[in-house]
């Protein structure tokens, strides 16, 4: 038995590459947590400050077909130095009525900061925008804004999930 954020957790098995954990009497598979995040898109990104306390930020996330979670951030906010220093992160996603949640934990990889409207980081930001919002009205302006804003992509590689979000409930 292991304690995470006040909840008791124990591994109850594996299904393929997915760990199944039991938390507070509920089982949340990583694949189910990723489905919930893909449906909701809005989550809270939790990183660790220098002193070890959590820092949280409201974000919008996309889940790729391979299960990697992508988030656009700016290099000037606390998330960036926190993740450079310690790549562990959690994403907390709530059901619309607030009474169910899933937390996805993993390790992040950071893209380079956008430096040119045609660099690979901006290409990835365009792809992320399309996945979340569809087509932009002015891609040239969008690309320039990504450089101006010093944006980059956080790629969270999920390792496990816990929470209270029964299967079949959205």
Instruction: Give the pLDDT score at 168.
Output: 63
Instruction: Give the pLDDT score at 3.
Output: 35
Domains and CATH numbers, the chain: 2-164 (2.30.110.10)
Instruction: Give the pLDDT score at 7.
Output: 47
Instruction: Give the pLDDT score at 165.
Output: 84
Task: Give the mean pLDDT per block of 10 residues along the chain (170 residues).
Answer: 42 52 58 93 97 97 96 97 98 93 96 98 98 97 98 97 78
- Could you give the CA distance from residue 132 to residue 111 in angstroms, rounded to a whole number? 18
Total residues found in the chain within this entry: 170
Instruction: Give the pLDDT score at 1.
Output: 32
Instruction: Give the pLDDT score at 17.
Output: 53
Pairing of strands 101-110, 18-23: unpaired
Strand blocks (E) in 30-141: 42-48, 54-63, 69-74, 88-94, 101-110
């Amino acid at each position: 038995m292991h304690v995470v954020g006040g909840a008791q957790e124990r591994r109850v098995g594996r299904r393929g590459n997915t760990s199944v954990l039991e938390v507070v009497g509920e089982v949340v598979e990583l694949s189910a947590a990723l489905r919930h995040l893909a449906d909701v898109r809005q989550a809270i990104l939790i990183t660790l400050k220098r002193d070890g306390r959590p820092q949280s930020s409201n974000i919008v996330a996309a889940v790729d077909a391979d299960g990697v979670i992508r988030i656009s951030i700016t290099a000037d906010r606390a998330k960036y130095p926190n993740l450079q220093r310690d790549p562990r992160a959690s994403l907390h996603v709530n059901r619309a009525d607030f009474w169910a949640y899933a937390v996805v934990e993993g390790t992040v990889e950071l893209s380079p900061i956008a430096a040119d409207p045609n660099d690979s980081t901006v290409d990835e930001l365009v792809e992320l925008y399309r996945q979340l919002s569809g087509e932009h009205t002015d891609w040239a302006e969008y690309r320039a804004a990504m450089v101006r804003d010093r944006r980059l992509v956080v790629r969270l590689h999920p390792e496990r999930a816990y929470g209270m979000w029964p299967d079949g409930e959205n």
